[in-house]
Structure formats: C-alpha cells, structure tokens
Amino acid sequence: MTTTEFDATTYKTTTRAQWQAAAEAWDRWQPTIEEWLAAATETMLDCARIGTGSRVLDVAAGAGGQTLAAARRVGHTGRVLATDIAPAILEYADARLRNAGYSHVEIAEMDGEHLEVAPGAFAALTGMLRALAPGGRIAAVSYSTPDRNGFFSVPISVIRAHAQLPPPLPGQPGPFSLGTQEVAEQALLDAGFVDVESVLVPSPLRLPSATDCRLFEQDSFGALHQMLAGLDESGRAAAWAEIDVRLREFETPEGFVGPCEMVVVCGSKPAA
C-alpha cells in the first residue's frame, strides 16, 4: 500500500486555484447559496455578537453573501473587511457590495493563515487570535459529519470510488475535518480562545431536482473537480452520471432536499 504525505503548500495552492476557477459559478449560484446558508449565517452572526457599529473581519468571504449579512448588521457606523485567498471570487464580492451601496465594506486578498491586519483591530466574525481585540469574538461555520451531509458526502464517495482515491490522511484538512462539536470546540481552545461553545444548525439544500444539485456541485465545487483530475473525460462523465442517480434518493414530492448540517462554533479572545 502506498501512502502520500500531506503537503500543506500544495494543498493551499490547489485550493486557491479551485476557487479561482469556481468564482464565476459561485457568483452565479449565489441566490441558492445564500438561501441554503441563511440559518447558519444568522446563527454565526448571533454567536459572534455582531451588531450596530461592530468591526468585522470576514475570512474566506467568497462571493460576499455572508459579508452582506454582516454589513447589514453593523450599519454605516461599523466596518467590515472581507478577505479571501482567491482574488477572482473577491471581484464578484466587491461588485455585489458596491451594488448594495455598502461603502463601509473593504475587500482584500489575504491568506487566512497570514492575516495582514493590525493586531487587536477587530471584534471579528472569523480570523486569527492576533487580529482580535481583547474580548473580541470569533465564529465559524463548518460541515458536521459526512452521514449528516449526504448532498456532499455522496458525490465525494462516488468520486473516490471511480478515481480509486485513498481515504484522507489523519488530521488532513477537508470539508468534514471539524465535523463534531467536540473537535470544532477543541480547535478554538487549542488556539487560545475562551468561552467556547457550538451549536448544530440544520441546513438542508433545497433545489427542484437531484440533477439541479448535481449541476450546482459540478459548476461550483472545485474540490470535486480536483478529485476527478486523474480520470479521462469518459471516466469523469461516468462519475457525474452515477452522482446524478445517487442523489435522487433525496428527492421528495416537494423537490430535492439534500441533507446538510452545519456546526457553528464560537469563542472569545481573553480580555487584556
């Protein structure tokens, strides 16, 4: 059996490339994404105690849906800095924010592991401990466990089988790596946060049909394309065809209801 060591640099480079490629599709599907993530977003903002006048650092802002939600809460007396590792997707976020008239929001390309902001500058949504003001809050959203996220775990399992990919290495980052409340909370505690808590948020993905879900993921989920990279065109087509069939188990008389559950985890930077 062959094992491959995890290469953090390659992983980050690949992730950036995935989001660069998926930027247009993520923007195009934004109404679906915002509806899907609405409950988790509002829970995250509540957990971070975001209100009028707050200063918010949004890391991995994507096309700006959650940034807009934060901007509405803080009002024009607050400030939001939206960052992402992929500049292409930030261009869509910037356009959406400008169209909404939010002049109190700034956009900046940044690596979430190397935030170039003044220490103690924010009471933040998401970010590093260093970036938070004393007593500032951190809040993040992650998928829970694969068995509760069938809309995504089913395509992943199909692609792994077709591409003959090994299981992820222990501790390797991925969509479900913070999947339990205990793991998510421990990650914040290990980083030095206090008053850590978490909540599970049901977040079903609702679309007209399983085929619409397959199209959404085929368009927008760059990680799935990366997993398929070792297959030829016919192999990739076969995998997507099986995904289409497998996702039909989530169709109901009211349409497609893809199982999805999010973990919202939050904590505070210790007071000075």
| Distance of alpha carbon 111 from alpha carbon 79, whole angstroms | 20
Query: Residue 191 has what pLDDT?
Result: 86
Find out whether 97 and 84 touch, Cβ atoms under 8 Å. no
Query: Residue 4 has what pLDDT?
Result: 53
Query: Residue 3 has what pLDDT?
Result: 46
Q: Which of the residues in the chain have pLDDT under 70? A: 1-8, 11, 112-114, 116-117, 120-128
Kindly report the pTM of this predicted structure. 0.88
Query: Residue 68 has what pLDDT?
Result: 93
Query: Residue 113 has what pLDDT?
Result: 64
Query: What is the layout of strands, in order, in the sheet containing 251-252?
Result: 205-207, 255-258, 251-252
Query: Residue 1 has what pLDDT?
Result: 38
Query: Residue 261 has what pLDDT?
Result: 98
Query: Residue 122 has what pLDDT?
Result: 67
Find out whether 271 and 134 touch, Cβ atoms under 8 Å. yes
- Cα 253 to Cα 1, 56, 217, 249: the distances in Å are 46, 41, 22, 12
Both tokens of 180, joined, read 């339990």
